Amino acid sequence: MNQNDAALSEIKWNQQGLVPAIAQDHATGEVLMLAWMNLEALRCSVTEGRAVYWSRSRNKLWRKGEESGNVQLLHEMRLDCDSDTLLLKVEQVGGIACHTGRKNCFYKHLENGSWNVTDEVLRDPADIYGDQQ
Amino acid sequence: MNQNDAALSEIKWNQQGLVPAIAQDHATGEVLMLAWMNLEALRCSVTEGRAVYWSRSRNKLWRKGEESGNVQLLHEMRLDCDSDTLLLKVEQVGGIACHTGRKNCFYKHLENGSWNVTDEVLRDPADIYGDQQ
């Protein structure tokens, strides 16, 4: 039994056995993305010291950065008052968290009744992912 | 039809008609909490300029701060790349976001296999909520 299992057993998973995990840049405080973890993903994150999520679309573990190299190194993990949301303080390798090639995923701002895209693409996804996209 | 309805219709709600909404202090970058919104809560948030969530436990609209006075004034609203998560930049009135009387809800830190509570209670919940708790 992993030494963290007692702590991880306190988490209140949803009906799909998942919890939302917010990734925040540990240095700047920028919110990078929200993804989901199951128990296995969380165990791997803690053991490996990097963000490992559960991909709901691909239905498998997703070691963030496994294709792009944009790994998230785990500096700190926090749990909220209701024990149903995680906050990860991470170091975003490569400075790109979003699959669109942007710094973070929250690049659509509500302004005057529409979502305006203001953040620039730092690297073309075709460069990041090659032919996989 | 509300002028924001076209924008709000782009949001990808989950099977319960909800999206997670991360509240972040607009000035300090501190992540305060995660709650959920349905379309009505989101419309109210935009119209009223304050965070209005959907309470899953009480099954009704939850105007954050309606009992405690700890309202979240909305400075900016962002949507992520997949259009299924919101990020709210807010001004936390009263400096307390958590119902436990703490600044934010993420006060349990994973350290050496257990969740250590490090953030202090700024105000006794009994003082905040009176006999309702």
Backbone angles phi, psi at A47, to 5 degrees: -70, -40
pLDDT: is A106 or B124 the higher one? A106
Q: How much is the ipTM here?
A: 0.94
Which residue of chain A has the CA closest to B87? A106
The answer to whether position B56 is within a domain reads: yes
CATH of the domain at A14: 3.10.20.810
**Contact status, residue A106 vs residue B80, Cβ threshold 8 Å:** yes
pLDDT tens digits for A72-100? 999 999 999 999 999 999 999 999 999 99
- In this prediction the pTM is 0.95
The answer to whether position A104 is within a domain reads: no
- Tell me the Cα Rg of chain B: 16
Do B109 and A81 count as a contact with CB atoms less than 8 A apart? no
Do A81 and B107 count as a contact with CB atoms less than 8 A apart? yes
Do A105 and B82 count as a contact with CB atoms less than 8 A apart? yes
The answer to whether position B44 is within a domain reads: yes
Residue B52 is part of which domain span? 5-96
pLDDT tens digits for A2-28? 667 889 989 999 999 999 999 999 999
- Give the pLDDT of residue B118: 86
**Contact status, residue A108 vs residue A115, Cβ threshold 8 Å:** yes
Does B102 have pLDDT greater than 70? yes
pLDDT tens digits for B36-71? 999 999 999 999 999 999 999 999 999 999 999 999
Taking an 8 Å Cβ-Cβ cutoff, which residues of chain B contact chain A?
Answer: 3-4, 6-7, 10, 20, 22, 24, 28-31, 33-34, 46, 76-83, 85, 87, 98-100, 102, 105-110, 112-115
* Mean pLDDT across B90-99: 96
- Give the pLDDT of residue B1: 45
The answer to whether position A133 is within a domain reads: no
| Total structural domains within chain A | 1
